Amino acid sequence: MTKLIVEVLNASDLMPKDGQGSASPFVEVDFDDQRHRTQTKTKDLSPAWNEKLVFNVSDPNDLPNKIIDVIVYNDRKGGGHHKNFLGRVRISGVSVPYTESEATIQRYPLDKRGIFSNIRGDIALKLYAAHDSPYSAPPQSNAAGVVEPPPLQELNTNKLEEDSKGNEKKKKKKEKEVRTFYSIGTATGGAPPPGPAPAPMPGPTPLFSGFAFESQPPKDKPVTVEMSSAYARAGPPTAMNMQVLRQHPEFGLVETSPSVAARMGYRGGDKTASTYDLVEQMHYLYVNVVKAKDLPAMDVTGSLDPYVEVKLGNYKGSTKHFEKNQNPVWRQIFAFSKDKFQANMLEIVVKDKDIGKDDFVGRVAFDLTEVPLRVPPDSPLAPQWYRLEDKKGEKVKGEIMLAVWVGTQADECFSEAWHSDAHSINPEKLANTRSQVYFSPKLFYLRLLVLEAQDLVPSDKGRAPDTYVKVQLGNQLRMSRTSQMRSVNPIWNEELMFVASEPLDELLVITVEDRVGPGKDEILGRMALPVSVAPPRLDPQKFPNPRWFNLEKPSSSEEAAAEGEKKKEVKFSSKIHIRLCLDTGYHVLDESTHYSSDLQPSSKHLRKPSIGILELGILSARNLLPMKTKSGRTTDAYCVAKYGNKWIRTRTQLNSLAPRWNEQYTWEVHDPCTVITIGVFDNCQINGGSDAKDQRIGKVRIRLSTLETDRIYTHFYPLLALQTSGLKKTGELQLAVRFTCTAWVNMITLYSKPLLPKMHYVQPIPVRHVDMLRFQAMQIVASRLARAEPPLRREVVEYMLDVDSHMWSLRRSKANFHRIMSLLTIITAVFRWFDDICNWRNPVTSCLVHVLFFILVCYPELILPTVFLYLFVIGIWNYRFRPRHPPYMDTKLSQADMAHPDELDEEFDTFPTSRPPDIVRMRYDRLRSVAGKVQTVAGDLATQGERIQGILSWRDPRATAIFIFFSLMLAVFLYVTPFQVVAVLVGLYLLRHPRFRNRMPSVPFNFFKRLPAKADMLL
Distance of CA 728 to the CA centre of its chain: 15
Q: Give the model's pLDDT for residue 569.
A: 57
pLDDT at 488 over 60: yes
End-to-end CA distance of the chain: 69
Query: Within 10 Å of residue 724's Cβ, how many Cβ atoms?
Result: 13
- Determine the 3-state secondary structure of 175 from DSSP: helix
Which pTM does this prediction carry?
A: 0.69
Q: What is the mean pLDDT of residues 428-435?
A: 84
Instruction: Report the CATH number of the 2-139+172-181 domain.
Output: 2.60.40.150
Nearest-10 crossing angle of helices 810-838, 917-949: 30
The DSSP call for residue 634 is -
Q: Give the model's pLDDT for residue 457.
A: 87
Antiparallel, parallel or unpaired: β 34-37 and 25-31: antiparallel
Of the listed ranges 424-433, 440-449, 621-630, 881-890, the least confidently predicted one is 424-433
> Higher model confidence: residue 277 or residue 72?
72
Q: What is the mean pLDDT of residues 666-679?
A: 94
pLDDT at 176 over 80: no
Q: What is the mean pLDDT of residues 846-870?
A: 89
Give the list of residues 6+ apart from residue 96 with CB closer than 8 angstroms, or none.
Answer: 4, 63, 68, 127, 128, 129, 191
Q: What is the mean pLDDT of residues 385-393?
A: 88
Sheet holding 122-131: strands in order across? 48-57, 2-12, 122-131, 106-109
Of the listed ranges 113-117, 520-524, 563-567, 891-895, the least confidently predicted one is 563-567
pLDDT at 426 over 50: yes
Residues 872-904: tens digit of each pLDDT:
999 999 998 888 888 888 888 888 877 878 888
> Higher model confidence: residue 275 or residue 712?
712
Q: Give the model's pLDDT for residue 42.
A: 87
pLDDT at 65 over 60: yes
Nearest by Cα to 366 from 287, 423, 283, 296? 287
Distance in angstroms (rounded) separating the CA atoms of residues 1014 and 19 = 90
User: Are 670 and 608 within 8 A, CB to CB?
Assistant: yes
Antiparallel, parallel or unpaired: β 329-337 and 418-419: parallel
Torsional class of 23: left (φ above 0), alpha (ψ -120 to 50), beta (otherwise): beta
Identical fold, 283-429 and 443-583: yes
**Segments in 118-257 forming alpha helices (H):** 157-166, 168-177, 225-232
Phi, psi (degrees; rounded to nearest 5) at 597: -105, -5
Residues 345-384: tens digit of each pLDDT:
999 999 988 877 888 899 999 999 889 998 877 888 899 9
Give the list of residues 6+ apart from residue 993 with CB closer than 8 angstroms, or none.
Answer: 840
User: Are 661 and 651 within 8 A, CB to CB?
Assistant: yes
Radius of gyration of the chain (CA): 37
- Per the prediction, the chain carries an average pLDDT of 81
Q: Give the model's pLDDT for residue 715.
A: 93
Residue 177: how many CA atoms within 13 Å on its side-chain side? 8
Q: Give the model's pLDDT for residue 274.
A: 53
The DSSP call for residue 147 is B
DSSP-assigned states of every residue in 900-965: -HHHHHHHT--SS--S-HHHHHHHHHHHHHHHHHHHHHHHHHHHHHHHHHTTSS-SSHHHHHHHHH
Of the listed ranges 9-23, 162-176, 409-423, 825-839, the least confidently predicted one is 162-176
Rounding to the nearest 10 degrees, give the CA dihedral for residues 814, 815, 816, 817.
50
Instruction: Report the CATH number of the 443-583 domain.
Output: 2.60.40.150
Give the list of residues 6+ apart from residue 64 with CB closer than 8 angstroms, or none.
Answer: 92, 93, 94, 194
Of the listed ranges 260-264, 468-472, 678-682, 702-706, the least confidently predicted one is 260-264
Q: Give the model's pLDDT for residue 78.
A: 47
User: Are 188 and 901 within 8 A, CB to CB?
Assistant: no
> Higher model confidence: residue 185 or residue 620?
620
Q: Give the model's pLDDT for residue 299.
A: 75
Residues 683-733: tens digit of each pLDDT:
988 876 667 888 999 999 999 999 999 999 999 999 998 888 888 889 999
Nearest by Cα to 729 from 189, 251, 254? 251
Domain 283-429 adopts which CATH fold?
A: Immunoglobulin-like (2.60.40)
CATH superfamily, domain at 593-754+789-800: C2 domain (2.60.40.150)
Provide the residue type at 312 as one letter. Answer: L
Antiparallel, parallel or unpaired: β 491-501 and 536-537: unpaired
Q: Give the model's pLDDT for residue 645.
A: 93
Positive or negative torsion for Cα 171, 176, 182, 185: positive
Q: Which whole-number Å values give the CA distances from 450 to 329, 453, 537, 886, in the listed order?
A: 60, 9, 17, 49
**Cis bond before residue 503 (omega within 30° of 0):** yes
pLDDT at 671 over 70: yes
Most confident of 236-250, 340-354, 384-398, 668-682: 668-682
Q: Give the model's pLDDT for residue 835.
A: 86
DSSP-assigned states of every residue in 88-134: EEEEEGGG--SSGGG---EEEEPBPSSTT-----EEEEEEEEEESS-
Q: Give the model's pLDDT for residue 169.
A: 45
DSSP-assigned states of every residue in 556-611: HHHHHHHHTPPPPPPS--EEEEEEEEEETTS----S-GGG-S----SSGGGPPPP-
pLDDT at 147 over 70: no
The DSSP call for residue 704 is G
Q: Which residues pair with 469 in a beta bridge?
A: 512
Q: What is the mean pLDDT of residues 40-44?
A: 87
- Give the start-to-end residue ranges of the domains of the chain: 2-139+172-181, 283-429, 443-583, 593-754+789-800, 811-1009
User: Are 711 and 884 within 8 A, CB to CB?
Assistant: no
> Higher model confidence: residue 271 or residue 432?
432
Of the listed ranges 99-108, 183-192, 508-517, the least confidently predicted one is 183-192
